[in-house]
Amino acid sequence: MAREAVIVGVGDVPLEGGKVVGGGSVLQVQARAAKAALDDARLSMRDVDGLLVAGLWGVPGPGQLPSVTLGEYLGIHPRFADSTNIGGSAFEAHVAHAAMAIEKGYCDVALISYGSMQKSERSRTLGGRPSILTMQFENVWGIPQPVGGYALAAQRHMHEFGTTEEQLAEIAVATRKWASMNPAATMRDPLTIDDVMNSTRIADPLKLLDCCLVTDGAGAIVMTTAENARAHGSKPIHIRGYGEAHTHWSIGAMPDLARLTAAEMASKRAFEMAGISHDAIDLVECYDSFTITVMMTLEALGFCKPGEGGAFVSGQRTAPGGAFPLNTNGGGLSYCHPGMYGIFLLVEAVRQLRGEAGARQVADVATALVHGTGGTLSSGSTVILANN
| pLDDT, tens only, 299-333 | 999 999 999 999 999 999 999 999 999 999 999 99
Q: In the chain, what are the domains?
A: 5-121+212-386 (3.40.47.10)
Residue 125 has pLDDT above 60, yes or no: no
Residue 163 has pLDDT above 60, yes or no: yes
Q: Do 313 and 295 form a contact (C-beta atoms < 8 A)?
A: yes
Quick: pLDDT tens for 246-276.
999 999 999 999 999 999 999 999 999 999 9
Q: Do 292 and 165 form a contact (C-beta atoms < 8 A)?
A: no
DSSP character at residue 191: -
Confidence of residue 142 (pLDDT cuts 50, 70, 90): confident
SS3 99: helix
Nearest alpha-carbon partner for 197 in 82, 293, 291: 291
Considering only residues 224 and 59, tell me which one the structure prediction assigns the higher pLDDT.
Answer: 224
Spatial distance between the Cα atoms of 169 and 191, rounded to a whole number of angstroms = 10
Nearest alpha-carbon partner for 90 in 37, 52, 135: 52
Confidence of residue 84 (pLDDT cuts 50, 70, 90): very high
pLDDT score of 331? 98
pLDDT score of 199? 98
Residue 127 has pLDDT above 90, yes or no: no
Q: Do 72 and 42 form a contact (C-beta atoms < 8 A)?
A: no
The total of other beta-carbon atoms located within 10 Å of residue 256's CB is 12
Residue 23 has pLDDT above 70, yes or no: yes
Q: Do 329 and 185 form a contact (C-beta atoms < 8 A)?
A: yes
pLDDT score of 131? 57
Nearest alpha-carbon partner for 94 in 216, 221, 8: 221
SS3 21: coil
Total H helices, total E strands in the chain: 13, 13
Chain center to CA of 319: 18
Spatial distance between the Cα atoms of 85 and 66, rounded to a whole number of angstroms = 10
pLDDT score of 342? 98
Q: Residue length, the chain?
A: 388
Q: What does pLDDT average to over the chain? A: 95
What's the Rg (C-alpha) of the chain? 19
DSSP string, 323-387: SS-B-TT-IIIII--SS--HHHHHHHHHHHHHT--GGGPPTT--EEEEEEEETTTTEEEEEEEE-
Residue 63 has pLDDT above 60, yes or no: no
Chain center to CA of 12: 13
- Which pTM does this prediction carry? 0.96
Quick: pLDDT tens for 332-362.
999 999 999 999 999 999 999 999 999 999 9
Nearest alpha-carbon partner for 372 in 186, 246, 215: 246
